[in-house]
Amino acid sequence: MELLIKLVVGAIVTALCAVVLRRSGGEFAAVLVLAAGVWMLTVLVQPLGQVVTCLARLARLAELDMHLIEPVVKVVGLSIIARIASEVCRGAGEGGIAAFVELAGTILALAAALPLINAVVDMIAGLLG
């Protein structure tokens, strides 16, 4: 809860500063927003590591192969990165580039999920055959 409050306060302060900067010529507003985004991501590295560790532990307890968990983590990571990048592009007034970033994220997420899809198809084929 404390971490979320810290991030929200940082986001609000950044947004207010960006509004002021945009009024006086918006070049630095985009840099400020990017810097705040990088700060937020660095703050989230430890909690993200805890999530990955917990998923690995759950996979071991369920006797699942880590090769089945990896695609899920990759898809979530790719989705987050693509979403952030597209919103930054939109914030800079580049909606077209944002759409291409979203498309690239979708294609890469699908490619990252292929091992999981293949494993599910193999499992279903084994049950049927």
How many other CB atoms are there within 10 angstroms of residue 88's CB atom? 17
Distance CA 129, CA 116 (A): 20
Q: Which amino acid is at 27?
A: E
What is the rounded CA–CA span in Å between residue 73 and residue 126?
A: 26
Q: Are 66 and 59 in contact (CB under 8 A)?
A: yes
pLDDT tens digits, residue range 88-109?
888 878 999 999 999 999 999 9
Average pLDDT over residues 68-81: 88
pLDDT at position 5: 95
d(CA 128, CA 94): 49
Say yes or no to pLDDT of 74 above 80.
Answer: yes
Which of 86, 12, 3, 94 is CA-nearest to residue 48? 3
Number of H helices, E strands in the chain: 5, 0
The predicted-structure confidence for 33-67, as pLDDT tens digits, reads as follows: 889 989 998 999 999 889 888 988 888 888 877 77
pTM over 0.95: no
Is the CB of residue 41 less than 8 Å from the CB of residue 3?
Answer: no
